[in-house]
Structure 1
Amino acid sequence: MKKYALLFSSFLVLAACDTTTVENDVESLEESVASVSVGDEVAEITVTINLFIPDEEIEETHEFQTEDGAILLDVMQANFDIVDDNGFITSIDGYEQNEADSKYWLFDINGEMAEVGAGELELAEGDVVDWSLAGFE
C-alpha cells in the first residue's frame, strides 16, 4: 500500500509542475546571462602617443583607442614597429637608440617622468605619452 501512496504522491507533484513555470525559469536565466554579458564589456579609452626625434626634426602625434588599463608596451607593439629588450624599447619605427652617443628612447606620461617602465604602465582615459629619442647622461 505504501508503494501506491508514494507513486500517487509523485504523480501529483509532477502534475503540479506545468510548462509555464519552466518557461518562466528559462526566460529569467536568459535575461541573467544577457545582463552579465553586457556588464562585462571593457571600457575603451583614447590615448595620445607623441614621438620626438630632435636630430631628425621629427614630431609625430598618434591617437589610439584601447582598453582601459591597457599596458603601454602592448599598445606600442600593436601600433608601431618596435624592438624591445626585456620591456625596454630600443627602436621605434626604425629609429634606434644609440648607446655610443648616449641617446635612448625615454618617455613621459602626462608631462611627468614615468615612475615605471612601459611594460608596467597602465593607461587611462586621456593619457598623453611623449616618447623622445634623447641624450641621457
Structure 2
Amino acid sequence: MVKKETIIKALRSKFKVKTTKGFITSINGHTQNTKKNKYWMYKVNGKTASKGADATTIHKGDKVAFTLNAQK
C-alpha cells in the first residue's frame, strides 16, 4: 500500500472486486444478495464506515475488515 489511497484501490490490488456506485458488491466471487438484504460492510480501525469504499481514504497502518452481513 502507498502512503494514502482509497479502500477500493487498496482492495483491488489484492483481490478481484466488483462495485456499483462506489459500493463493493463482490470480493473474490463472494457476492452480496440484495433479496436477502446481505451486503458487504467494512470497518476501518474498528469503526464502521459511513461512506462508500471509493470515498474512504486509508493510510499506511490502518486496519480494514470486511464482512458480508445480513441487514435487518
TM-score scaled by length of structure 1: 0.50
Alignment RMSD, CA only? Answer: 1.1
- Structure 2: runs of 5 or more not aligned: none
Superposed displacement of residue 115, structure 1: 2.5
More helix by share: 1
1:78 aligned to 2:34? Answer: no
Count of aligned residue pairs for this structure pair: 72
Q: Give the one of 31, 34, 41 matched to 1:99.
A: 34
More strand by share: 2
Same amino acid, percent of matched pairs: 31
Q: 1 or 2 for the larger relative contact order (CA 8 Å, sep ≥6)?
A: 2
Query: Deviations for 1:35-75, whole angstroms, at most 9, x for unmatched residues?
Result: xxxxxxxxxxxxxxxxxxxxxxxxxxxxxxx1111111111
5+ residue gaps, structure 1, are 1-65
Inter-partner Cα distance in structure 2 for 1:121 and 1:98: 23
TM-score by length of 2: 0.90
Give the 4+ runs in structure 1 shifted more than 3 A: none
In the alignment, structure 1 residue 90 sits paired with structure 2 residue 3: no
Equivalent-residue separation in structure 1 for 2:40 and 2:57 (angstroms): 19
Structure 2 Cα separation of the partners of residues 116 and 85 of structure 1: 13
2: CA distance, partners of 1:121 / 1:79: 17
